[in-house]
């Protein structure tokens, strides 16, 4: 299994956090966000991964490169596909695949490439998904999730046998079909990758064309917890979910707080349902509640429902 992680987006919804770091490397429990995905890929048997970059590419590549060298050496080969201009999901994926083959050799007919968004928390059973993809002799498999309102943003509808019968649908196509939302995870055979556009959307210029050509395009439902950390509020809430035990991440556990070993907490400070990053400081006597303190940031006064950045900004996430 080879892999590609989408990391070239602008992260506009996550501002002002992304004014300091690109979205793929904002810290989540002191680990660059996309590195949770890289860890899952490595644990699932991926041999290599390409991360595409664009906005603030130097920072993305530096932060991911440092993490891989420190924590993943020998477990996953990671390279970068820097886009001078955004190529879209289809074009970015094609360029990353071409880079992957130049660096590590052409994919064989039975190999697959798993592509996944680098700004989500989602750890589906990739081994099972790849096995299903191969059993169906699919050229491409879209990993889907059930949702209450699948047509709101355009549903992917699958027939009882899993074959995709509609894309970006606003209403049900068949009575027996199951409408669901695309998770941003694909399992792709080489024949699909070779048909990708050099620029454009992977769904509109890729999947739709493959479907029209009668190729074997399937969907696979996953019930694994899925979350897009698209806004500061959701970003903070995701930390709380881990602390409260509602979401599990490797190497973390539920608890009243999470404080990095190198953080400095002053005498008498009270930390409740909060995450305090490496080399951060919480002043003596301060009460901190339901907040995230980035590495290197300082907390000088009582705070609740906030994200504290190392440049001194405090981002409120209160309702």
Bridge-based pairing state of the strands 112-117 and 2-6 = parallel
CATH superfamily of 2-228: Spore Coat Polysaccharide Biosynthesis Protein SpsA; Chain A (3.90.550.10)
| Calpha distance 250→142 (Å, rounded) | 25
Measure the CA angle with vertex 194, ends 190 and 197; round to 5°.
Answer: 135
253 vs 3: which has the higher pLDDT: 3
- Residue 193 predicted with pLDDT over 90: yes
Return the sign of the alpha-carbon dihedral for residues 198, 203, 204, 208. positive
Measure the CA angle with vertex 192, ends 227 and 110; round to 5°.
Answer: 95
- Percent of the chain exceeding pLDDT 90 equals 72
pLDDT at 249: 83
| Calpha distance 304→319 (Å, rounded) | 11
Q: Is 104 exposed, middle or buried (0-12, 13-18, 19+ CB in 10 A)?
A: middle
Q: Could you tell me where in the chain the CATH 3.90.550.10 domains are found? A: 2-228
- Percent of the chain exceeding pLDDT 70 equals 100
Q: What is the pTM of this model?
A: 0.91
| Calpha distance 27→25 (Å, rounded) | 6
Secondary structure class of 106 (helix, strand, coil): coil
pLDDT in tens, 133-152: 999 999 999 999 998 888 88
- As a whole number, mean pLDDT of residues 299-306 equals 96
Token output for 111:
């190999």
């Amino acid at each position: 299994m080879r892999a590609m992680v989408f990391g070239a987006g602008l992260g506009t919804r996550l501002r002002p956090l992304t004014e300091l770091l690109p979205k793929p490397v904002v810290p989540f429990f002191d680990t660059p966000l996309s590195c949770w995905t890289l860890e899952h890929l490595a644990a699932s048997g991926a041999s290599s991964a390409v991360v595409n970059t664009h906005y603030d590419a130097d920072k993305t590549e530096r932060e991911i490169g440092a993490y891989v060298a420190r924590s993943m050496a020998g477990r996953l080969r990671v390279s970068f596909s820097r886009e001078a201009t955004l190529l879209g999901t289809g074009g970015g994926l094609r360029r990353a695949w071409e880079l992957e083959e130049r660096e590590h050799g052409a994919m064989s007919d039975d190999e697959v490439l798993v592509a996944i968004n680098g700004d989500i928390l989602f750890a589906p059973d990739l081994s099972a998904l790849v096995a299903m993809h191969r059993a169906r002799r699919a050229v491409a498999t879209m990993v889907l999730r059930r949702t209450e309102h699948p047509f709101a943003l355009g549903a992917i509808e699958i027939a009882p046998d899993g074959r995709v019968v509609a894309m970006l649908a606003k209403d049900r196509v068949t009575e027996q079909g199951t409408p669901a939302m695309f998770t941003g995870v694909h399992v792709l055979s080489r024949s699909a990758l070779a048909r990708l556009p050099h620029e454009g959307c992977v769904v509109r210029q890729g999947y739709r064309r493959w479907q029209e050509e009668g190729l074997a395009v399937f969907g696979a439902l996953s019930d694994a917890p899925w979350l897009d950390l698209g806004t500061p509020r959701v970003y903070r809430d995701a930390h709380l979910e881990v602390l409260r035990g509602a979401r599990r991440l490797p190497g973390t556990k539920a608890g009243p707080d999470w404080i990095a070993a190198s953080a400095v907490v002053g005498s008498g400070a009270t930390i409740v349902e909060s995450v305090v990053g490496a080399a951060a400081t919480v002043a003596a006597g301060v009460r901190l509640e339901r907040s995230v303190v980035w590495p290197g940031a300082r907390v000088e006064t009582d705070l609740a429902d906030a994200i504290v950045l190392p440049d001194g900004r405090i981002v409120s996430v209160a309702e």
